[in-house]
């Protein structure tokens, strides 16, 4: 195995048979990116950790890949993507641990220059891109239906492709041919109001990486942003599909970038997560998912994963039914 052999070690001290909290009526959970270099890697230890912290929901993140920003074909690439068998197994492990399960499709880039990301994708042949994407999404929708998935996120942060509303409506309709649960799309935090196809999905999804470094403090920022989301949604359910902070010193200013600082600050990560949870429970919506349990974790890790950090304990308090 080329990477992440040590991942299971950090979870060994958790009691796998710990009592489960009652399921929250709305989404309260964590995402688990299937990002190991081995397509058939077994994520059971991480699934158990999330369950033992009291999560109601586990969202499994599946990544397909295109060559670069202009490519028109997407692929399931070993070393970048999990096998569908691994997706199925991880969903089953979540359900066996008593959690509801969700499934989220994201796009990665094989060749990426500094600063490039999926929000800038502009394929040379847009129609071929959407056809390729639809084939992968339909396959995932069939997996979701077979494995009892509650929420299927049909896309995430594809800013450059969002204006093509009819293609997204077609993708959603095709997914519904195979999947009977709820559909979401995950818009970036700074452009959810510009997505033109919210009518095609059951809930508004937002990757919620709002800056919280202002003078009013993180709690006040979240109070303001949550109120704005509520006004925008006009009664449509809103799920924060990604809420998270890297464990580094610039997390409040750059929550979307785990590479921004080399100065690890796990205490700040936990504090920022706590500020969000406190603000959220004051005006709860349809739920939220903490990004992202995957990773080695531990006190020297500046990434998103709460594993082996104070944020893991804070996550557990966030998961308490209130």
Supply the pLDDT for residue 115: 87
Mean pLDDT of 288-307: 97
- Average pLDDT along the chain: 92
Q: Is 106 a residue whose pLDDT tops 90?
A: yes
Residue 63 dihedral angles phi and psi, to the nearest 5°: -115, 125
Q: Which positions ≥6 away from 56 have C-beta within 8 Å?
A: 21, 23, 24, 26, 27, 28, 29, 99, 100, 319
- Using the Cα atoms of residue 176, residue 160, residue 254 and residue 211 in order, give the sign of their dihedral: negative
Comparing C-alpha atoms, which of 56, 9, 102 is closest to residue 316?
56
- Six-digit token string for 169: 């409506």
HSE value, Cβ hemisphere, 13 Å, CA-based, for 136: 27
Mean pLDDT of 301-319: 97
Q: What is the DSSP letter of 306?
A: -
The domains of the chain are located at: 26-318
β strands within 100-150, DSSP E: 100-109
- Six-digit token string for 235: 């009664």
Comparing C-alpha atoms, which of 197, 127, 128 is closest to residue 169?
197
Query: Burial, 38: exposed, middle or buried (Cβ in 10 Å; 0-12, 13-18, 19+)?
Result: middle
- Six-digit token string for 244: 């998270």
Question: DSSP string covering 14-79, please?
Answer: S-TTPPPPPPPSSEEEEEEE---SSTT---HHHHHHHHHTT-SEEEEEEEEEESSTT----B--BT
Q: What is the pLDDT of residues 165-217, one digit of tens each?
A: 999 999 999 999 999 999 999 999 999 999 999 999 999 999 999 999 999 99
Mean pLDDT of 113-130: 95
pLDDT band at 6 (very low <50, low <70, confident <90, very high): very low
Comparing C-alpha atoms, which of 11, 10, 168, 24 is closest to residue 100?
24
**Angstrom distances, CA of residue 83 to CA of 34, 35, 142, 209:** 9, 11, 14, 29
Supply the pLDDT for residue 301: 96
Q: What is the pLDDT of residues 257-274, one digit of tens each?
A: 999 999 999 999 999 999
Hey, what CATH topology would domain 26-318 get? TIM Barrel (3.20.20)
């Amino acid at each position: 195995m080329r990477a992440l052999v040590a991942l299971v070690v950090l979870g060994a001290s958790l009691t796998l048979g710990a009592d489960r909290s009652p399921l929250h009526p709305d989404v309260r959970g964590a995402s688990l990116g299937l990002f190991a270099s081995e397509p058939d890697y077994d994520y059971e230890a991480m699934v158990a950790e999330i369950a033992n912290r009291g999560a109601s929901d586990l969202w499994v993140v599946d990544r397909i890949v295109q060559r670069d920003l202009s490519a028109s074909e997407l692929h399931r690439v070993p070393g970048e993507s999990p096998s569908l068998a691994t997706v199925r197994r991880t969903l089953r492990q979540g359900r066996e641990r008593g959690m509801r399960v969700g499934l989220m499709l994201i796009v990665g880039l094989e060749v990426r220059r500094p600063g490039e990301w999926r929000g800038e994708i502009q394929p040379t042949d847009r129609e071929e891109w959407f056809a390729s994407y639809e084939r992968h999404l339909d396959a995932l929708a069939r997996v979701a239906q077979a494995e009892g998935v509650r929420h299927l996120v049909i896309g995430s942060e594809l800013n450059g492709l969002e204006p093509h509303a009819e293609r997204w409506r077609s993708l959603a309709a095709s997914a519904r041919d195979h999947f009977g649960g709820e559909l979401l799309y995950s818009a970036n935090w700074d452009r959810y109001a510009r997505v033109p196809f919210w009518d095609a999905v059951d809930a508004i999804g937002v990757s919620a990486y709002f800056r919280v470094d202002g003078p009013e403090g993180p709690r006040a920022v979240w109070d303001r942003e949550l109120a704005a989301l509520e006004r925008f949604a006009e009664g449509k359910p809103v799920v924060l599909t990604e809420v998270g902070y890297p464990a580094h010193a610039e997390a409040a200013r750059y929550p979307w970038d785990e590479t921004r600082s080399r100065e690890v600050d796990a205490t700040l990560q936990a504090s920022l997560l706590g500020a969000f949870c406190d603000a959220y429970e004051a005006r709860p919506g349809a739920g939220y998912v903490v990004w992202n349990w995957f990773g080695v974790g531990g006190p020297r890790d500046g990434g998103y994963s709460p594993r082996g950090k104070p944020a893991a304990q804070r996550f557990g308090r966030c998961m308490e039914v209130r």
